[in-house]
Amino acid sequence: MSRPTSSDPACSTSKLPTPASTSLAPVAVGLAHRAPIELLPFDLITLIAKFVLRDNVGDLNDEGSIRLLHLALASPALFAPVIHTVIGDNSPLPAMFELMNPPADADNSLVDLGRMDLTNAWYTCESRFVAHHAQVLRDGHPKWHLLLLARTHDRRLIDDPGAGPERISGRWSTLPVPEHQLRHVLFYHDRDQPLSASIPSGCRKVEIWNHHADQDASLPRFPEILDQLTLKGLFIEAANAFGVLGQVPHGLCKLFLGIRHIENDMGLAMLYTRLPETLSTLSVWSDGESGNLNNETLDTSMRILPHVLARMARLNDLALKWILRPQDVGPVLDALAKPDAAASDAVHAKRSMRSLKLGLLSPPNWLMPTVPFLDTGAGKRLQVDELELYVEGRSVLAGAWSDQYCSLLSSLPIPTKSLSIVLPSWNAAFVRHVLDALIAPTLTDLSLGGNAISDEWTFPLAALHPNKLPCTLTSLSLSECFTSRSVAWGTNPNWTFSSSIMHLALADNALTGLDLAFLWPRLPPNLRSLDLMRNAFHALPTPLPPKLRFLDVSGNEGLNDHFGPHAWIDALPPTLRYLNVVWCALNAQVGDQLVAARRRIGFTRAGCAKLQVEVGPIRSYGRVNAFSPAQRAALADSKLGTAPESFMHEESVLEALGKLHF
């Protein structure tokens, strides 16, 4: 993408992109009145923009894109390099421009953006930072625009009095974007918006959502330089499987396929045959109906998939979810473990991958697999940094199933950095196989979870002995693993957490005050982050870990049952920087305590409160906190002052943009 060649911060604002609306026109500011960041070179500001977006990778709903929007609108000197980062070749975000058709009654040469249906635009501006509007001109060529919320000359948000809290303001600012500068776009393919627009020749990342399964799955021809393709909402059957990937360039590196409906296994098998061999990243998942596909009818596709994977010599990241059975893991690992033929010692060489994520279909207990699971040893010939295993189903893995899954766990490759395993249920044998077969001496993150935990099959915490965990382990997550009081009544009193853990997540476990009383003296001494969201306790024990910086107790409505002052709020350590109390139904008295806690913990040199408190929306389907507007303002404003009026719309983009004044 082209950009200003001069890195001189004093360059004229005329060299920056020129907005079509005067509400966003750059304001000329003399060098003497510029902030230090405005004086930085162009390239350095782009690096800062990429740093702001670092948390958005893989999750477009993160607040990093909103923070970057704040940065872009803060100054004309920052606007151009930030936009350059967003739409450039190396942006960490996959699809930043969204195709939005103008209203049917709009003039083709000048679209009234105020009359647009802004439902999709609201989502776009909140989580994708920019929107794309295709304006059909009289000559038939599309015109691309970058859409931004309108702001005043001093860059304050212009609120629309007619917009409700669920709607974004209808006042926009537009900025023409040359088609040759577009590098990544998002298209919707449905009845109302057929995929007829041509993809710009310079695009390297394309995302297409098919909203209706009965649509023709054939796609347009993609640019030869395309690097990453994401297709969601696919309808797969034998008749259209070839058309889904028929126009994909041969040099494609990253492919993400979200399947809404699979008519039969033959269609899935034919789709596999169209996968490019040049892929370094492949993710295929089923997130909808499976038609006639079930645990017994995957034989055809599983005869094809291992051969296809074996030909992908560059494959570095693989995710296959809800299209595999337990007995299919062995053939997949065999295909991945084949060493490079050019290796000096091909017999003993290990294939290295960055990540392997497997989501398995789990049949009911009475249906045993016709092909038993066989450990070929391929997993130990495969080296991965990150390993995820999720077994779907609500069946209890008991009896013969227990032996099957113990063999499965033992056969997996040993991850060097991160391990995540979710099973329908747990027992001591499962935990023992995880500790003995899958824990590397370099492991840093361990996540174990369940999806069908009962009183009989709860996670045996005592089996997770700290002596079995490496000293490098800093993050431990045990979510949906326990039932109420199972920790307090079923754990050996001599058990304790590993002392190396700094980040601990115990969400969705129905933990009671009795469970917390057992766990509290056993918490790691250097704990920095504690996630207790969606449990069943009424108060936190005190004192809290002295080095704690992050605390999440959201979704604990039982906190509302504790009458009188909450001692744990007064005991928040001075190191705490983030507290989440969303959906806790706390009263106004607790709101005063939280405001006092922010003051007590102190302020930065810039005068901002060190502690950020997340209190949630004013209105919601859940039980919201009963804080007054003044309390919400004090908890939201960085300086404990009065927040702007737009703060009242907490679930809207207006609230997100209105928090920061420029």
**What pLDDT, in 10s, does the model give residues 233-290?**
888 877 676 677 877 888 899 999 998 888 788 888 989 998 999 999 999 998 765 5
CB 169 within 8 A of CB 149: yes
Residue 205 or residue 117, greater confidence:
205
CB 454 within 8 A of CB 396: yes
Mean pLDDT of the region 386-407? 76
Separation between Cα atoms, residue 230 and residue 256, nearest integer Å: 5
363 closest CA partner among 355, 373, 353: 373
569 closest CA partner among 603, 536, 593, 552: 593
pLDDT reading at 417 higher than 90? yes
Beta bridge partners of residue 210, listed in sequence order: 189
Residue 369 or residue 127, greater confidence:
369
Q: 360 by DSSP, 3-state: which? A: strand
Q: How confident is the model at residue 306 (pLDDT cuts 50, 70, 90)?
A: very high
Per-residue model confidence (pLDDT) at position 533: 95
Highest mean pLDDT among 212-221, 314-323, 346-355, 615-624: 314-323
pLDDT digits (tens, 9 = 90+) for 203-232: 888 888 774 444 455 567 788 889 999 888
Residue 398 or residue 45, greater confidence:
45
pLDDT reading at 345 higher than 60? no
Q: How confident is the model at residue 106 (pLDDT cuts 50, 70, 90)?
A: very low
Separation between Cα atoms, residue 538 and residue 560, nearest integer Å: 7
Query: What is the CA 287 to chain-centroid distance, rounded?
Result: 16
Residue 416 CB: number of other CB atoms within 10 A?
18
- The first and second tokens of residue 420, run together, are 């995540």
Q: How confident is the model at residue 189 (pLDDT cuts 50, 70, 90)?
A: low
Q: What are phi and psi of 552, to 5 degrees?
A: -120, 115
Per-residue model confidence (pLDDT) at position 287: 76
Separation between Cα atoms, residue 662 and residue 659, nearest integer Å: 10
pLDDT reading at 94 higher than 50? no
pLDDT reading at 565 higher than 50? yes
Q: How confident is the model at residue 466 (pLDDT cuts 50, 70, 90)?
A: very high
Beta bridge partners of residue 148, listed in sequence order: 173
| DSSP run (H or E) holding 632 | helix 629-636
Per-residue model confidence (pLDDT) at position 164: 37
Block residue for tokens 């889904």: 244
CB 557 within 8 A of CB 580: no
- Cis peptide leading into residue 543 (ω within 30°): yes
CB 88 within 8 A of CB 182: no
* Percent of the chain's residues with pLDDT above 70: 62
pLDDT reading at 643 higher than 60? no
Per-residue model confidence (pLDDT) at position 277: 93
Q: 382 by DSSP, 3-state: which? A: strand
* Percent of the chain's residues with pLDDT above 90: 31
Q: How confident is the model at residue 11 (pLDDT cuts 50, 70, 90)?
A: very low
Residue 200 or residue 293, greater confidence:
200
Residue 34 or residue 119, greater confidence:
34
> What pTM does this model have?
0.78
Residue 629 CB: number of other CB atoms within 10 A?
13
Separation between Cα atoms, residue 128 and residue 243, nearest integer Å: 29
